[in-house]
Chain A
Amino acid sequence: MEYTGEQLWAGQLGHAFVIVGFATAILSMLLYFIGYSKKDESYRKLARGAYWIHALSMIGMVGTLFMMLAGNMFEYHYIFQHSSSSLPAKYIFSAFWEGQEGSTLLWLFWQAILGLILMYSSNRWEYSVMGFFTSAQVFLLTMVLGFYVGDMHIGSSPFTILLREHPNFALLPFVQSSNYLDTLDGSGLNPLLQNYWMTIHPPTLFLGFASTLVPFAYALAGLLERDYRGWFKQALPWTFFSIMILGTGILMGGAWAYESLSFGGFWAWDPVENASLVPWLTLVGGGHLLLIQKNKGTSLFSAYFLIVLTYILILYSTFLTKSGVLGDSSVHAFTDLGLSGQLVFIFGSYAVLGFGMLAWRYKDLPKNKKEDGLWTREFWMFITALVLLLSAFQITFSTSIPVWNKLFGTEMAPPADPNAHYNGYQLPFAVIIGLIVGFTQFLNYKRTDLKTFFSQTLRALIASLVLTIVIGLIIQFDQPLLLLMLFSSLYAVLGNADYLLMALKRNIPIGSSIAHIGFGMVLLGSLISQGGAETISQNSSRYNLEELDDGYKNNENILLMLEDTLTMGDYRVTYTGKESEGIYVYYNVAYLDSNNQEQFTLSPFVQLNNRMGNVAEPSTKHYWNKDVFTFIKYAELEDREEDLDPFKDAVEHDIRIGDTIYASNAIIILDSIAGVMDLGKKQEYGLNPEDLLVRADIRMYDFDTQLHHVSPHFAAQGTQVKLFPAENKKVGVKLEMYKIDPTSETIGLRLYEYKYKTKEFIIMQAMVFPHINILWIGAILMIIGSVWAIYNRLQTKRKES
């Protein structure tokens, strides 16, 4: 059958870019390695030419996919799956990297760009470094090749056509119509990812991933060339660039989770989060070991080990997130494309290559004969790297439970309480690192005068101790470990602040001090905001919750009836109603202070997401010193049917003054009956001055024993009777005085009650995170400090050469 309107050239163009890019990557790699072994300068030009074509192909490949997304070419499977014609243009980026193929393209794109910079900055290292660099590009490109060798497919291409290459679609009815494209719409971007963080978080993270390749390539080049001293000077700025970008990417993921997911925090020890954190930890360790190597010439093997390990862990984390092995255990993992074998192969190849080369040259590596002194900067930096490695090991081992299950046929489930499990180890590690970060800058390489050292660090030590006691009392930390952590992170901040002041006086570079202060603040901010977090949404509704059971009880939700006002923490809150907007249902909750003055309104919402199930997203009020974080636990999504008559049939009562009648949720007492003489009032009711108007004053108590007053009126206009009932929405009652009997002093009262027994309600959880801004400010300082330090290093490098 001939289909009309398909733009097949776009896919062919994309395929062409992939194939040209793949061929030129191989070519460039071969030319570089041959040029290296022959020591022949003439290969450089050819290899560079091949790399340029490769890099341009990568740019063309990415551009083609963007063009296809922008042009809504739903004849392509990837476009059909990740976009739709109603998708706002600003989410095209999110749609681009929503799927596995697109995110691999993004990674390839960054590596291609970094390769161009590396090519022109690596000078005499170009042959070997670019050789290893392009090899990684070759391996990664196989992930999007989409070739078939017999039954086995190599990679999955984003340029495949929906109807021809995806058997699931071949049987659908629309295949029969040649103009199916006129009516086909894409299935759209997962609404959860329609968020601006999803536009910037993945590119940053993938730039971080891509940048770890450069130190790795330098490390292997150093091993290959048996030049163990030159490579790290080149690799050092790249390593810290990588630490900065990858760290930023990870924190952005945390910020996204905090802002738009409702697990109540910015870090949940989710396997995918862990998989990106672990290489960062080892890279930080490796980067600091490189500093020792540069300044003192020791720790070479351990620096090599951590740098090589980092890239292998990047590949391992790719395997974890893209192979489907995490399956149920993570919210972020991609679906399985049947490529796990290929992912294991890539990861395995580089593990063998990296560790193999390290083992091959191990005997050749210059060894450090003399032991480091205890009070030297290098000793404590080494200890830090070791603690980071242990921390990475603990996280990896626990995160890999699904892998162990596959390998050993076990049926272990991930820890039921991940926070308790991971924090149990990571908190002590963080305590140690915080302390070391606090004092190590004051130590010198090789030898330190202990007297000066202690007098220099004493100030920060005492200040931290005092602050720990004060803050600990304010936020009522009672666990010794949390207090230790508080002390350690305060010391990391103050120790480095102290050093910063000294550095400013002596004109020493201050980038690293700023970055370390930032790191201390990230620790401090996480500790105070999470450790001091308070769930304020206790149930304070009229329904007294009985203790039903044992420690399972988690009394952390508040039930808010429409228009009821309840106390929650320092606030009084009122649920004022819901509004729908597209796929979002907003629940407006007003916050009042103790004088019932409205302070602000939060609108936590539910996203109607037919792909992943409905998602509750939080709404947060930011203060400088705390966040009030709320989200919906349970709510009615649909509007209740508009009922013309919301009342049940009336019940009639004959009562006298002082009598009590009972409604299903209120007690009603008739206080008085009085004739109304006021002419103005009569006019208000549309009566003439001579007409009779009678008012009944009635009081009602609801189950909160709150008092309400209502006054139904009765009027007689000549022989005609007019009734003016009075309604109280909060109690859900309408009262109508329909007759007056002066002789027996009784009135007839009709009691109407709402049909719905319960009013509309929401169940909400609310938490207060104190001082979470310390965390975000710390993150920004870390970035600024790292950029500064890298800049300084490049300056000195330029002066040296």
Chain B
Amino acid sequence: MKKLHIVAIIAIAVAIGAMLSTLSDSSTYADFAEAFNSPDSEYHVVGKLNKEKPSDYKPEVDPNLFSFYMVDNNGVEKRVILHKSKPQDFERSEQIVLIGKAKGDEFHARDILMKCPSKYNDGSNADFRTEDEMRELRAKEQAEATM
């Protein structure tokens, strides 16, 4: 056998290994029902924050512990224990992705991804200023330009 053949076989084996490990490392998007059925495996659960129920954060006791209630896309609500500090702007989140495992009655999240409302591509963020404000801004700009 030629050297190049050996090299080629190794390369193909590594490529297949890479594909398989991607498939095994990738977790799955799931709902709470699925996650609570198999508490030992890690899931990505997508849902929304229940803003009616209280979220609990006592940084002076433990800055790395935050709990709240999330409703998944099927309407199932669970208490979530996040083992991290409370994310900035948490209340404004539109959608949440939790990464973690179910435990007892609660979902223990190791990480959280949040999607905040995007103001791109719609007219809602048209920003109006009064004419006086505009005049002021333009004057300032001119002053800067002449500097």
A residues near B38, Cβ cutoff 8 Å: none
Report the minimum CB–CB distance from A335 to chain B (whole Å).
5
A residues near B65, Cβ cutoff 8 Å: 548
Contact between A168 and B123, CB atoms less than 8 A apart: yes
Contact between B18 and A634, CB atoms less than 8 A apart: no
A383 to B44 CA separation, bound complex (whole angstroms): 39
Q: Which of B4, B61, B92 contacts A371 (CB 8 A)?
A: B4
B residues near A421, Cβ cutoff 8 Å: 21-22, 25
Contact between B11 and A185, CB atoms less than 8 A apart: no
A186 to B126 CA separation, bound complex (whole angstroms): 7
Q: Which of A171, A328, A610, A614 contacts B88 (CB 8 A)?
A: A614
Report the minimum CB–CB distance from B58 to chain A (whole Å).
9
| B105 lies within 8 A of chain A by Cβ | no
B residues near A188, Cβ cutoff 8 Å: 127
A611 to B119 CA separation, bound complex (whole angstroms): 6
Q: Which of A159-201 contact B (CB under 8 A)?
A: 166, 168-169, 171-172, 174, 182-188
Contact between A386 and B7, CB atoms less than 8 A apart: yes
* Given A398-B22, A411-B28: A185 in contact with B128 (beta carbons within 8 A): yes
A789 to B42 CA separation, bound complex (whole angstroms): 50
Q: Which of A369-398 contact B (CB under 8 A)?
A: 371-372, 374, 379, 383, 386, 389-390, 393-394, 397-398
Contact between B26 and A168, CB atoms less than 8 A apart: no
Contact between A85 and B137, CB atoms less than 8 A apart: yes
| B56 lies within 8 A of chain A by Cβ | no
Contact between A606 and B83, CB atoms less than 8 A apart: no
A401 to B23 CA separation, bound complex (whole angstroms): 9
Report the minimum CB–CB distance from A173 to chain B (whole Å).
9
Report the minimum CB–CB distance from A331 to chain B (whole Å).
10
Q: Which of B19, B126, B144 contacts A172 (CB 8 A)?
A: B126
A residues near B113, Cβ cutoff 8 Å: 328
A residues near B130, Cβ cutoff 8 Å: 183
| B145 lies within 8 A of chain A by Cβ | yes
A412 to B44 CA separation, bound complex (whole angstroms): 10
* Given A328-B115, A633-B85: A169 in contact with B123 (beta carbons within 8 A): yes
Q: Which of A752-771 contact B (CB under 8 A)?
A: 758, 761, 763
Please give me the residue from chain B that is nearest to A557 by CB atom: B63
Please give me the residue from chain A that is nearest to B114 by CB atom: A613
* Given A185-B129, A548-B62, A634-B59: A611 in contact with B118 (beta carbons within 8 A): yes
Contact between B28 and A412, CB atoms less than 8 A apart: yes
A139 to B27 CA separation, bound complex (whole angstroms): 37
* Given A539-B63, A554-B64, A613-B116: A85 in contact with B15 (beta carbons within 8 A): no
Report the minimum CB–CB distance from B66 to chain A (whole Å).
9
Please give me the residue from chain B that is nearest to A561 by CB atom: B60
A411 to B119 CA separation, bound complex (whole angstroms): 27
| B125 lies within 8 A of chain A by Cβ | yes
Q: Which of B19-52 contact A (CB under 8 A)?
A: 19, 21-23, 25-29, 42, 44
Interface centre among A169, A416, A424, A549 (most CB of B within 10 A): A416
Q: Which of B75-124 contact A (CB under 8 A)?
A: 81, 83-86, 88-89, 92-93, 97, 99-100, 108, 110-111, 113-116, 118-123
Contact between B131 and A374, CB atoms less than 8 A apart: no
Contact between A416 and B42, CB atoms less than 8 A apart: yes
A404 to B19 CA separation, bound complex (whole angstroms): 12
A residues near B127, Cβ cutoff 8 Å: 84, 184-188
Report the minimum CB–CB distance from B144 to chain A (whole Å).
7
| A414 lies within 8 A of chain B by Cβ | yes
B residues near A424, Cβ cutoff 8 Å: 21
A residues near B144, Cβ cutoff 8 Å: 89
* Given A416-B44, A553-B64: A335 in contact with B83 (beta carbons within 8 A): no
A residues near B125, Cβ cutoff 8 Å: 187
Tell me what chain B mostly uses at the interface: helix, strand, loop, or mixed.
mixed
* Given A168-B122, A613-B89, A614-B89: A554 in contact with B83 (beta carbons within 8 A): yes
A residues near B122, Cβ cutoff 8 Å: 168
Interface centre among A393, A543, A552, A614 (most CB of B within 10 A): A552
| A576 lies within 8 A of chain B by Cβ | no
Contact between B85 and A758, CB atoms less than 8 A apart: no
Q: List the count of A-B residue pairs having beta carbons below 8 Å apart.
A: 171
Contact between B42 and A412, CB atoms less than 8 A apart: no
Contact between B126 and A184, CB atoms less than 8 A apart: yes
Report the minimum CB–CB distance from B137 to chain A (whole Å).
5
Contact between A182 and B134, CB atoms less than 8 A apart: yes
Please give me the residue from chain A that is nearest to B145 by CB atom: A89
Contact between A557 and B128, CB atoms less than 8 A apart: no
A188 to B125 CA separation, bound complex (whole angstroms): 10
Q: Which of B14, B81, B89, B131 contacts A182 (CB 8 A)?
A: B131
- Count class of interface residues, chain B: 35 or more
Contact between A616 and B19, CB atoms less than 8 A apart: no
Contact between B129 and A413, CB atoms less than 8 A apart: no
Contact between B21 and A425, CB atoms less than 8 A apart: yes
A420 to B21 CA separation, bound complex (whole angstroms): 11
* Given A398-B22, A606-B88: A371 in contact with B3 (beta carbons within 8 A): yes
Contact between A415 and B86, CB atoms less than 8 A apart: no
Contact between B134 and A415, CB atoms less than 8 A apart: no
B residues near A372, Cβ cutoff 8 Å: 3-4
Q: Which of A283-337 contact B (CB under 8 A)?
A: 328, 335
A421 to B17 CA separation, bound complex (whole angstroms): 12
A residues near B121, Cβ cutoff 8 Å: 168, 335
| A545 lies within 8 A of chain B by Cβ | yes
- Contact pattern, B 1-19, Cβ under 8 Å of A = 1, otherwise 0: 0111001000100110011
Interface centre among B42, B61, B62, B137 (most CB of A within 10 A): B62
Report the minimum CB–CB distance from A218 to chain B (whole Å).
26
Please give me the residue from chain A that is nearest to B12 by CB atom: A390
B residues near A549, Cβ cutoff 8 Å: 81, 83, 108
Please give me the residue from chain A that is nearest to B144 by CB atom: A89
A residues near B21, Cβ cutoff 8 Å: 421, 424-425
A168 to B108 CA separation, bound complex (whole angstroms): 41
A546 to B62 CA separation, bound complex (whole angstroms): 8
Q: Which of B22, B60, B62 contacts A761 (CB 8 A)?
A: B60
A386 to B14 CA separation, bound complex (whole angstroms): 11
Contact between B118 and A328, CB atoms less than 8 A apart: no
Please give me the residue from chain A that is nearest to B86 by CB atom: A634
* Given A183-B131, A184-B126, A552-B83: A613 in contact with B141 (beta carbons within 8 A): no
A32 to B126 CA separation, bound complex (whole angstroms): 48
B residues near A702, Cβ cutoff 8 Å: none
Contact between A371 and B2, CB atoms less than 8 A apart: yes
Please give me the residue from chain B that is nearest to A77 by CB atom: B121
Report the minimum CB–CB distance from B85 to chain A (whole Å).
4
Q: Which of B11, B108, B118 contacts A552 (CB 8 A)?
A: B108
* Given A413-B29, A415-B25: A335 in contact with B63 (beta carbons within 8 A): no
Question: 10 tightest A-B contacts by CB?
Answer: A613-B116, A394-B18, A413-B44, A415-B25, A633-B85, A412-B26, A552-B83, A613-B89, A169-B123, A763-B63
Task: Pull 21 A–B residue pairs with CB atoms less than 8 Å apart, ordered by A.
Answer: A80-B126, A85-B141, A166-B123, A183-B128, A183-B131, A185-B134, A187-B126, A328-B115, A371-B2, A386-B7, A413-B28, A413-B29, A413-B44, A416-B25, A416-B99, A416-B111, A539-B63, A554-B110, A559-B60, A559-B63, A634-B85
A residues at B contact (CB < 8 Å): 80-81, 84-86, 89, 166, 168-169, 171-172, 174, 182-188, 328, 335, 371-372, 374, 379, 383, 386, 389-390, 393-394, 397-398, 401, 411-417, 420-421, 424-425, 539, 541, 543, 545-546, 548-549, 552-559, 606, 610-616, 633-634, 758, 761, 763
B residues at A contact (CB < 8 Å): 2-4, 7, 11, 14-15, 18-19, 21-23, 25-29, 42, 44, 59-65, 81, 83-86, 88-89, 92-93, 97, 99-100, 108, 110-111, 113-116, 118-123, 125-131, 134, 137-138, 141, 144-145
- Give me 18 other A-B pairs in contact (C-beta within 8 A), A557-B63, A559-B59, A634-B63 excluded: A85-B138, A172-B123, A184-B126, A188-B127, A371-B2, A397-B18, A398-B25, A415-B25, A416-B44, A543-B61, A549-B81, A552-B108, A553-B64, A554-B83, A554-B84, A557-B64, A559-B60, A633-B63
